[in-house]
Each structure stands twice: as C-alpha cells, then as structure tokens.
Chains A and B, each alone.
Chain A
Amino acid sequence: GAVVSQHPSWVICKSGTSVKIECRSLDFQATTMFWYRQFPKQSLMLMATSNEGSKATYEQGVEKDKFLINHASLTLSTLTVTSAHPEDSSFYICSARDTRYNQPQHFGDGTRLSIL
C-alpha cells in the first residue's frame, strides 16, 4: 500500500519551454503533497507544501511564478516548471501524505529533468 506514482520519470526539453510533472497517490488520499528538488550528490531540498484545494506554500528562495503547483484533488498534484532553463535541470521528487491518519510521507520515484 501507500504508492505514489510520478510521471514522467525522465524528460528532456529545450530551454524556454514549460514542463509539467504529475504526482499521483494510487491507493490513498493525499491531503498534503510536497515537492522536492535534488541536485547531483546533494540532499533533497523542500520546495513547497500543498494542501488539497489550497494554494501551495513555498519555501524561502523558491519562485512561485517559476514553479507552479496545483493540488486540485486528493490524488493528484502537478508541478509546472515554466520557461525552463538549464539551471532548472534537476531531479524533482514528490511525496504525499494523508494527514487525517497520522501517515508518514510516501515518495514518488522522481522525475529527472534536463533542459538543453
């Protein structure tokens, strides 16, 4: 149980395009979802927290107009990297949690984004 699916797992696109990453909780309802970024040989960095039906809360230094987060249902959150540039290339990971049942965060397998 507690499976989180992320799609796509790998994407390459040209500089200036926008990229959408989906995060789905497959067998539970995710009242809260989190988005992280991880650069090579570094730890995960929390980007934002989103509660279903509410606007996301972004961590300091993360541009909310650059990284658009939507959490419109209890099973789906999306992260859109707008006008992506090479410095946005990274490993993006989502996690999901049902806060009603004191459940731990469960992570997806990440999306490797490469901007050329």
Chain B
Amino acid sequence: DAKTTQPTSMDCAEGRAANLPCNHSTISGNEYVYWYRQIHSQGPQYIIHGLKNNETNEMASLIITEDRKSSTLILPHATLRDTAVYYCIATRNTGNQFYFGTGTSLTVIP
C-alpha cells in the first residue's frame, strides 16, 4: 500500500472551510484514498473515499489530483466538533488493510 504524508497539525477558524492535504505520490492504479477522523478516545469515523474522481457527501468533499499523487479533504464549514485527528489512507479495495500514518491534528478555533 502507498505511504501517505500529511501535515502534523492545522488550525481552522470556526465556520471557515478546512482544507486538509495528503500526499500519496507512490499510489498505484488500483488503490483508493480513504479519509477517517478520530476524536479523542473514540474509534475512527469514516468520512469519504475515492479512486480518481472527486467525491462529495454530507460530511466533506474529496479532491484528487489528476495524477492521483495527492488529495485534499475539504470540510466546507468547520465547527468545533470537527476538532480531531484526520487520517488519509491509500489501500486496495481487495484486502483493504489500513496502515495508518500519523495523521493531521485539526483544531477548529472559535
């Protein structure tokens, strides 16, 4: 599975869009990009995933570059409850083992 690289931490003002980048330059053609978040002392929560097209759901949008070497998770209107560690994972859908990196600790500031 491709290694992912994320910034260690980010701040975002409440109500503004939070843009969380992820680098996965060694991703292969059959690997998906998954995003999860973990609020302190809880299990990770699924946010969104995609292969090559941009995706949007009720929680977030996922923008994947045309060469698939990086992606951005967008939380359109961040709230205090979005403060969490966000993980970007690249993995094949068969098997689907997740090897978590260190993630990005997002702090939403009032």
Contacts and interface: CB of A to CB of B under 8 A. Distances in A.
A77 to B, nearest CB: 14
Contacts of B49: 104
A46 interface: yes
A105 B101 contact: no
A71 interface: no
A46 B98 contact: yes
A67 interface: no
A46 B95 CA distance: 13
Contacts of B87: 43
A34 B43 contact: no
B59 to A, nearest CB: 12
Contacts of A97: 96
Given A102-B93, A104-B49, A110 B43 contact: yes
Contacts of B96: 32, 97, 99, 105
A104 B100 contact: no
Chain B residues touching A, majority SS: loop
Contact of B98 (A99, A105, A109, A110): A105
Contact of B41 (A2, A32, A110): A110
Given A34-B98, A43-B100, A46-B97, A107 B44 contact: yes
Given A34-B98, A43-B100, A109 B43 contact: yes
A46 B101 CA distance: 11
Interface in B33-62: 34, 36, 38, 41-46, 49
Contacts of A93: 43-44
Nearest to B93: A102
A74 B28 CA distance: 31
21 contacts: A6-B43, A32-B96, A34-B97, A43-B87, A43-B101, A43-B102, A44-B38, A46-B99, A93-B43, A93-B44, A95-B44, A95-B98, A99-B94, A99-B96, A105-B98, A107-B36, A107-B44, A107-B46, A108-B43, A109-B43, A110-B41
